[in-house]
Amino acid sequence: MTTLPIGPGRARQGEIYRAGVLGRSPAVPADCAELERRAQGAMSLRAWAYVAGGAGEGATMRANRAAFDRWQIRPRMLPGQAQRDLRTTVLGNELATPLLLAPIGAAGLVHDDSDLHIARAAAQAGVPYVISNQGCTPMEDIAAAMGDAPRWFQLYWSTDEALVDSLLARADAIGAGALVVTLDTTMLGWRPADLNLGSLPFSQGIGIAQYTSDPRFQEIVRERVARATPSPEKVEVTLGALRSLLSISRNHPGPWRANLRSPEPRAAVEAFLDIYSNPGLTWEHLGTLRQRTDLPIVLKGILHPDDAVRAVELGASGIVVSNHGGRQVDGAVASLDALPAIRAAVGPGTTLILDSGVRTGSDVAKALALGADAVALGRPYLYGLALAGQDGVREVVANVLAELDLTLGLSGVTSVAELGPDLLQTAP
Ligand code: FNR
């Protein structure tokens, strides 16, 4: 008898079915439709609006899914190898699997200590976590929760250049493997679900922990308060307010909301709203980045091949092909549809990561076949978080990787490296 190795797909199936014999069911559903449905039930109206909502009428979100559905896999039989090699190369480094966790801000809407749960699950799974600039826990604490596991940092370019430098320095100090600059959110998109509730997490102090923990941001708030009311006591009160905002950002909003009606915490929130992002951002700003950090630069939110070429010319080593999960421009092209032309424009040497609409292991296989080096998972891991915290995130990641492994094996593909467009055809 030959004993064949078991890959992540069969391992995950075995784990679930063996637990089933003992009457235990998994913490999260194995399909995304049910995952989403159950997560909605576990989330507040405001959290659901923020997480699941998209821009305008939702056309881009639908296009993201339709693009995956338009491609079909043509399985080949009997590759004769029991195990798949899921390794990929990203920014010159080997990753065990072609998956990252996309940066997601204000996750504290969904779960206490959200970013710490996500970070620990990512570390357990060996999947890099892209820490959001709109996180709910200071990046230093997130990094501490991850040990040596890989993390990147995502930046929104502030109107305050000193704050940009401070965030860059902190990202470097926490051992970030890359700096991801998000280009598609110089302003928030038109998001009816949030607008209809009058709800923006940041204005309630949720998702601003990278700011309230930043020395330059604290200086900005002190200056603003001192200008408005030049009394030393006021400035001290504001520092106290910043500390309490930090704990708001980490946790659920409810009990803290009243607190934000008082003037000092509002000053911090208002300072954040004024400076967190720069609607006048230019390629010239980005051109300064190569001199300001040694971290590899990844530009997120690119959909046009000309922008991709420009990004590489300015020193970016990687691009996230993304429409922000359909949250910014309603009617924007699906990320998957934008991918092949971008790969053709930048050639094989630039790392391409795809996100927006990735829900299954089969989706991951399609994105890799169309030219991505890796894929970033977004909303699904937040649904796992809503249902079961760290375990929920870990299980969602394990499920996607399991299905990727099985999809490859059952399609005659033995390694991620050999994936190419010949695996696919367009649906008739
Ligand atoms: C995001 N996204 C995002 N992107 C970013 O660069 N910084 C951020 O802080 C956030 N915050 C955020 C919050 C929420 C609730 C969502 C759903 C998304 C975008 C994210 O990184 C990624 O591009 C999308 O999530 C991909 O789309 P899907 O696959 O989640 O639909």
**How far apart (Å, rounded) are the C-alpha atoms in residues 57 and 1?**
58
Which DSSP category does 368 fall into?
H
Question: Crossing angle, helix 114-125 and helix 379-410, to 10 degrees?
Answer: 20
Determine the atom of ligand 1 nearest the C-alpha atom of 323: 23
Determine the atom of ligand 1 nearest the C-alpha atom of 324: 23
Which residues are tagged catalytic? 324
**How far apart (Å, rounded) are the C-alpha atoms in residues 67 and 324?**
15
| Top mutation candidate among 44, 321, 327, 353 for ligand 1, by most atoms within 8 Å of CB | 327
**Other residues' Cβ atoms within 10 Å of the Cβ of residue 421:** 13
Cβ of residue 378 lying under 6 Å from some atom of ligand 1: yes
Determine the atom of ligand 1 nearest the C-alpha atom of 357: 29
What pLDDT score does 266 carry? 78
Among protein residues, the one with the nearest Cα to ligand 1's atom 7 is 103
Cα–ligand 1 centroid distance for 191 (angstroms)? 13
The per-residue pLDDT for range 146-168, each reduced to its tens digit, is 999 999 999 999 999 999 999 99
Reported confidence tier of residue 235, pLDDT bands at 50, 70, 90: low
What pLDDT score does 253 carry? 44
Reported confidence tier of residue 240, pLDDT bands at 50, 70, 90: low
What pLDDT score does 5 carry? 80
Cα–ligand 1 centroid distance for 74 (angstroms)? 31
Cβ of residue 53 lying under 6 Å from some atom of ligand 1: no
Cβ of residue 300 lying under 6 Å from some atom of ligand 1: yes
Cβ of residue 356 lying under 6 Å from some atom of ligand 1: yes
| Top mutation candidate among 51, 65, 104, 385 for ligand 1, by most atoms within 8 Å of CB | 104
Among protein residues, the one with the nearest Cα to ligand 1's atom 31 is 325
Determine the atom of ligand 1 nearest the C-alpha atom of 52: 17
Read off the pTM: 0.96
Bridge partners of 101, per DSSP, are: 129, 377
Q: What is the mean pLDDT of residues 259-282?
A: 82
Among protein residues, the one with the nearest Cα to ligand 1's atom 3 is 104
What pLDDT score does 262 carry? 61
Reported confidence tier of residue 256, pLDDT bands at 50, 70, 90: very low
What pLDDT score does 308 carry? 98
Reported confidence tier of residue 225, pLDDT bands at 50, 70, 90: confident
Contact between 26 and 398 under an 8 Å Cβ cutoff? The reply is no
Cα–ligand 1 centroid distance for 260 (angstroms)? 26
Which token pair is 390? Answer: 């760290």
Cα–ligand 1 centroid distance for 288 (angstroms)? 25
The per-residue pLDDT for range 84-115, each reduced to its tens digit, is 999 999 999 999 999 999 999 999 999 999 99
What pLDDT score does 373 carry? 98
Amino acid at 258: A
**Other residues' Cβ atoms within 10 Å of the Cβ of residue 294:** 10
Cβ of residue 322 lying under 6 Å from some atom of ligand 1: yes
Cβ of residue 189 lying under 6 Å from some atom of ligand 1: no
What pLDDT score does 6 carry? 87
**How far apart (Å, rounded) are the C-alpha atoms in residues 39 and 33?**
10
Cα–ligand 1 centroid distance for 324 (angstroms)? 5
Q: What is the mean pLDDT of the chain?
A: 93
Contact between 84 and 410 under an 8 Å Cβ cutoff? The reply is no
